[in-house]
Chain A
């Protein structure tokens, strides 16, 4: 820039007025707050019913909120479909198992563990944090390679990551117990830690979405060429999102482990990948509100179908859907929703107090 040009530079451009500090955060924070209140409302109702099976079903929903929000952080912002994320959930779940099972049990069931893990017996919340960071680190390392790819190649490669993790965990007998169940993980039956995890996931996703990295990534999702021409380092921004979402997937893994007390590699494979992706896509792939609402709606639907399958007494007879209809009905409903609303139920928007807001 020459002196001549600076002297004629319009004053507004030379020294633009910045908006108030945290203006963007204050304008958008209502979304994670409302979503958290929604989650809290579900939890309060659950506790009030006092029903054990209902409590367990709601814990499952909280865990799924964590997982689907984790998927949203990467898939929603980058637009790159990933089939690999449940692999990081697997890493988180086993890490939580390693850190919390009674050492006496571990020495016989998982003798191949290094001694610091064999001796470890951490409280669940500490193990969850470590498991989340471990999964995030793995995502960072895998991501370094994956983020160079784009489009279909990237999605297929993420699928390879899932298959790889599953294969390792299904065969490494002395460390993962191979395909047999790893039991003895302390079970946490109160809903509040799971609610806490879901809310933490929601706020992290929001923080990322309004960050510089989140904005740059959404730009690259729309128009990668133009984003690069705007100075955006696309592989770097994708990697950041991938690692953060890896952390959340790991947290979801730890939560799964403590909610059921047992893990096997196949808990974290195609079935869970399909159901979590379905929830994300039905709710609205590029919206945090969509991720949360997708979980709540599809979970309610699954629950209702299970209940119908089990049979509902109608007068003197029992009305029941044939077995297996649950999966079929779920598939049909998903297809219908997506045919009517290809961008998902919420689309590209976020819920706010007064209106439905366009994305940040």
Chain B
């Protein structure tokens, strides 16, 4: 069974330690959550897992084989997909072409890529957007297109960097059910970074809490809910994140 792991990852940026000895496992069909305050190192970890950032120490392994020195496009071709915090759609291309690019990047013909892109938009429920220019989409649609783009070729793993940021409660719920379908129906191993802790607690099988580059706690949603350390970390940071967390945790 496919298995993606980050083993003892450390990353240092000119003296700043963004990650210290972080270990994390992602398994097919499972949803893992990665939470932690701003600047905790969550995006950096996703960058390491997808070949965008070389770790200072430690290694990323796929089925026990290290991915060290692979370029991002090579990592993607091994079935490890990701989205970005800001969407990062190909703004000049149509939505359907945004998805098609991944198909082509994975070696499909344009015909095969179009076919899968259409099916994927349909599966996500955004077929109507296919012909729109990606640059004109509202925020929430942008996120869903980005997820569709990452799902092309049906990767074994997908890493979602704050896919629900800025969404309304209803939109976040819709996104939750999409993520569940990605894990259940596509058998994808999902890692989701999310500030909305309520959403993460309701969605994930396993949660890792990062603070200042280190894992301070991990476990099932129930365990995270009861953790003193997590409560402490969140109470100690910005009021905007502290509030919803406090509500859920207390």
CA distance A178 to B90 in the complex (A): 47
**Do A228 and B73 form a contact, CB below 8 Å, given A5-B185, A358-B94?**
yes
Is A12 a contact partner of B123 (Cβ separation < 8 A)?
A: yes
Binds B, one of A132-140, A219-227, A256-264, A315-323: A219-227
Q: Specify which of A218, A221, A231, A359 is in contact with B73 (CB 8 Å cutoff).
A: A231
Judged by a CB distance under 8 angstroms, whether B77 is at the interface is: yes
Q: Flag A1-30 by CB within 8 Å of B: 1 or 0 each.
A: 110111011101100111101011000000
- Which chain B residues (78-112) contact chain A, with CB distance < 8 Å? 81-82, 84, 88-94, 97-98, 100-102, 104-107, 109-112
Residue of A nearest to B28 (CB): A2
Assess the B110–A212 pair: CB atoms within 8 A: yes
Given contacts A12-B122, A13-B123, A218-B90, contact A231 B110 (CB under 8 A): no
Q: Does A234 contact B (CB under 8 A)?
A: yes
Confirm or deny: A232 has a beta carbon within 8 angstroms of a beta carbon on chain B: yes
Q: Are A13 and B115 closer than 8 Å at their CB atoms?
A: no
Q: Is the CB of B187 within 8 A of A5?
A: yes
Specify the chain A residue showing the minimal Cβ separation from B111: A18
Q: Which residue of B lies closest to A24 (CB)?
A: B110
Q: B: which residues have CB within 8 A of A?
A: 1, 28-29, 50, 52, 71-73, 76-77, 81-82, 84, 88-94, 97-98, 100-102, 104-107, 109-116, 118-120, 122-123, 133, 149-150, 152-154, 156, 184-187
Q: How far is the CA of A8 from the CA of B113 in the complex (A)?
A: 22
Q: Residue of B at shortest CB range from A1?
A: B187
Q: Which of B91, B101, B119 contacts A216 (CB 8 A)?
A: B101
Q: Do the beta carbons of A222 and B123 come within 8 Å of each other?
A: no
Q: Is A266 an interface residue when CB atoms closer than 8 A count as contact?
A: no
Q: What 0/1 readout, one digit per residue, does chain A (202-217) give for beta carbons within 8 Å of chain B? A: 0000000011100110
Interface residues on A, range: 35 or more
B73 touches A18 (CB 8 A): no
Residue of B nearest to A221 (CB): B92
Q: How far is the CA of A10 from the CA of B118 in the complex (A)?
A: 13
Partner of A229, one of B72, B114, B187: B72
**A228 in contact with B71 given A5-B185, A12-B119, A348-B92 (CB within 8 Å):** yes
Chain A nearest CB from B67 CB (Å) reads 14
User: By the criterion CB–CB under 8 Å, are A212 and B29 in contact?
Assistant: no
Total A-B pairs in contact (CB under 8 Å)? 140
Docked CA distance A181–B71 (Å): 48
A218 touches B92 (CB 8 A): yes
Tell me which of A2, A232, A358 contacts B187 (CB under 8 A): A2
* Chain A residues near B119 (CB-CB < 8 A): 12-13, 16-17
Tell me which residues across on chain A come within 8 A of B184, comparing CB atoms.
8
Most buried by B among A227, A231, A232, A360: A231
Q: A16 to B149, Cβ gap below 8 A?
A: no
Could you tell me if B186 and A5 are in contact, using CB atoms closer than 8 angstroms? yes
Contacts of A6 in B (CB 8 A): 187
Contact with B along A150-181 (1 / 0, CB 8 A): 00000000000000000000000000000000
Residues of A within 8 A of B101 (CB): 215-216, 219, 227, 230, 232
Question: CA A308 – CA B15 in complex, angstroms?
Answer: 65
Q: List 27 A-B contacts (CB under 8 A).
A: A1-B156, A4-B187, A5-B29, A12-B119, A13-B123, A16-B118, A17-B118, A19-B114, A24-B110, A24-B111, A211-B110, A212-B104, A216-B104, A219-B90, A219-B101, A226-B84, A228-B52, A229-B50, A230-B76, A230-B102, A231-B73, A231-B106, A232-B104, A233-B71, A233-B105, A348-B92, A360-B97
A2, A219, A227 — most chain B CB neighbours (10 Å): A219
7 cross-chain pairs, A with B, having the tightest CB-CB distances, nearest first: A5-B187, A231-B105, A16-B119, A16-B115, A230-B102, A228-B72, A219-B101
Please give, as numbers and ranges, the residues of chain A lying within 8 Å of B72 by CB-CB distance.
Answer: 225, 228-229
Chain A residues positioned under 8 Å from B81 (CB to CB): 229
Complex: chain B residue closest to A11, CB-CB: B119
Report if A19-B111 is in contact (Cβ < 8 Å); known contacts: A5-B186, A230-B76.
yes
Query: In whole angstroms, what is the CA distance A9 to B156 when docked?
Result: 14
User: Nearest Cβ distance between residue B54 and chain A, in whole angstroms?
Assistant: 14
Q: Which of A223, A232, A359 has the most CB of B within 10 A?
A: A223
- When the two chains form their complex, are residues A226 and B186 in contact, meaning their CB atoms are under 8 A apart? no
**Which residues on the B side are within 8 Å of A215 (C-beta)?**
93, 97, 100-101, 104, 110
Q: Are A222 and B93 in contact (CB under 8 A)?
A: yes
Q: What CA separation (Å) do A285 and B152 show in the bound complex?
A: 30
Residue on A with the closest CB to B108?
Answer: A212
Q: Beyond A2-B28, A18-B114, A215-B104, is A10–B90 a contact (Cβ under 8 Å)?
A: no
A89 within 8 Å of B (CB atoms): no
Which of B89, B104, B113, B123 meets A10, CB within 8 Å? B123
A223 touches B105 (CB 8 A): no
| A78 at interface, CB cutoff 8 A | no
Contact at B29–A230, with CB atoms within 8 Å? Answer: no
Choose from A9, A229, A286 the contact partner of B185 (Cβ within 8 Å): A9
